[in-house]
Structure 1
Amino acid sequence: VTHVHNTSGECKTADNLLTLIELEKKFIEEDLSCILIGWVSDAGGELRAACIRLQSRYPWLLVTDCFVHQACILGDYIKKNPCLFRMAEASELISWFNNHSFALHVLFSEQRSMPEFGNVILTLIRAVITHWLTHVTSFNQLLRVSMAMKSAVLKHKDNIIKAAGTAVSAVSKAKEMVKIIENPAFWTDLEMISSHLEPLSIAINVCQGSHTRVDMVGLMFGQLYKHY
């Protein structure tokens, strides 16, 4: 019900942005006969400065940052996590399998032969680097096929390496991927990473919805506190 302003041809200073906010506040209160109780906005740059001035001018308003932008917390976690190299290994392993048809074929064949998959073939998902929820989905999927992947290497290691190519670099990379799969610590660390990332990803996904309510954000904070 409020307006969308085209500011592409204007300087996006705190003063100019505050003027637009004031116009919307007036419209909400006078034209819509509503009581404005809060303002949510981006947390960076001039808009942040405009919101600080808005809070100073109207101390009774609830002025807060948009929680969607707090998705950066996952990026902070990934940078600080001592198991960062495991995430890099997992991403590289997924990409390598998806780029080598024989290895992927062996993985699918192993899944077909294992009753726990119930004739359902799970593919490997490559994460979108800026979409944090896809990292969790990607790692969880890799964990789901871990037994089939270990079995594939146990039975067909030599053929998987041979099918990678004759170039020294290709053979070296194939051996590196096999070594990752055979390393129990890799899978243990990946399970830990997934358990840490999943609650944060769910919280971000819930809080960035078009129908997200304030109470939902509060509940998600409570869930995160309880989990960690």
Structure 2
Amino acid sequence: MIILCYGPPKTASSAAFSMMRALVRRHMKQIGGRVAKPDHIGRRYADGLFVTVADLPETIDTLLNDPDMASPELAVFVKTHAGPSPQALEAVRDGRIRLLISHRHPADSALSLIDSSRKISEGTAVKTLDEVTHQIAWSDRMLRQWAEGGPNLMIDFVSMATRPYEVGARINAFLDLGLTPEQVHEEIDRLEADKTRYGKFNKGKVDRRNDEMSPDEIARLEQVAPYMTELYVANPL
């Protein structure tokens, strides 16, 4: 079983991935299954998370060509910001890949991208709004390709920040893990207590764009990322 988390940067994709991984590990422990670390692909890999190479489509395709990946007692976790290959989309449609997708309002993602570049700039220029707008436009196209390619579970940033137990219950149901509500709560409580396992997800202010952007800037980002905007509007807050 390959579980793949796709999300544009700064959409809580790392947090959603960490939550999914914790719940699947609990399931595998109960059924006597195992989590695979496919070192045979010959690339960097750490604790069930592709560090960089999951953004190369051939990495996922290599896993799909491994017959062991079809076993329900084996789990492999993949997190990527890249677009899908045709083989990956075919695997989503026929159930060989179980796909989770994170999303967020594009203007809020833009602000977080600028913040991130400021933290790691080390004297170099901070990304401008124009630069991150181009990045978000590309991510919007990739998001649509994954989302329209086959069955998936959509996870929005606001729910991750404010209703994590609800998200955990949805992941449990989507992946047919069979965990009890109490078990789901236990795993999420562990994540909440250990920030190193929960990625660098910041549960700070949601919908920050309204205080930090002009209406014209927000409208521009909504225009270049229509699918992210559509998902945000359709999601009950």
TM-score by shorter chain over 0.5: no
TM-score, structure 2 normalization: 0.27
- Which has more radius of gyration? 1
- Give the helix-richer structure, 1 or 2: 1
Greater RCO (Cα-Cα under 8 Å, separation 6 or more): 2
TM-score, structure 1 normalization: 0.28
